[in-house]
Amino acid sequence: MSDSSSLAETIRQGIDQVTHRAFREHIRFVKASGLTMPQFNILMQLHYQHECGLSDISARMEISNAAASQLVEKLVQAGLLERAEDPNDRRAKQLRLSAQGQRLVEASMAARHRWMDELIEQMEPAEREVVAAGMRLLLSRLPAGNKPY
């Protein structure tokens, strides 16, 4: 394996391992919350988008409006989402997180950050600098609009 390909290989392995860990932790949290993944995804989307219509959700999740409507209905009944009429277009609905929904999302982010912080705390300050430098570079190359929802 050449030098540059082993560099790429290291990066790929790092990303693979990290995402795998993140993925498993996330699955666990969602399951523990009593929600399903599609339901939770909607909460995450609304966390980052603050407010949107139903069609935005179905578009983002690549499901039908009907499916999105049914998912939203459950979240509204669970008290996690608020659904109001859009005053500018009375066909549309404005969806946003309820206070309870916000708390749940924040708890999930806290859980997600817990193991990251453990990792970070294991490192020397100089090492943190190295990892952060790599991440800064990675972030600068990732598509800007790629919000985590």
CB of 43 to a second copy, least distance (A): 15
Please report, for residues 20, 55, 64, the alpha-carbon distance to residue 89 in angstroms, rounded to integers and kept in the order given: 42, 13, 21
Token readout for 100 is 């309870």
What is the SS3 assignment for 81?
A: strand
**Residue 98 binds: one of a second copy, DNA, none (C-beta under 5 to 8 A by kind):** none
Contact 93, 60 (CB under 8 A): no
Q: Does 49 bind a second copy (CB under 8 A)?
A: no
Distance CA 61, CA 43 (A): 12
Q: Which is nearer to a second copy, 19 or 64 (CB)?
A: 19
Q: Restricting to residues 111-140, name those near DNA by CB under 7 A.
A: none
Distance CA 88, CA 94 (A): 10
Q: Does 78 bind DNA (CB under 7 A)?
A: no
Distance CA 121, CA 113 (A): 12
Q: Restricting to residues 66-125, name those near a second copy by CB under 8 A.
A: 112-113, 116-117, 119-120, 122-123, 125
Number of residues that bind a second copy (CB under 8 A): 45
List interacting residues with a second copy (CB under 8 A): 4, 7-8, 10-23, 112-113, 116-117, 119-120, 122-123, 125, 127-139, 141-142, 146-149
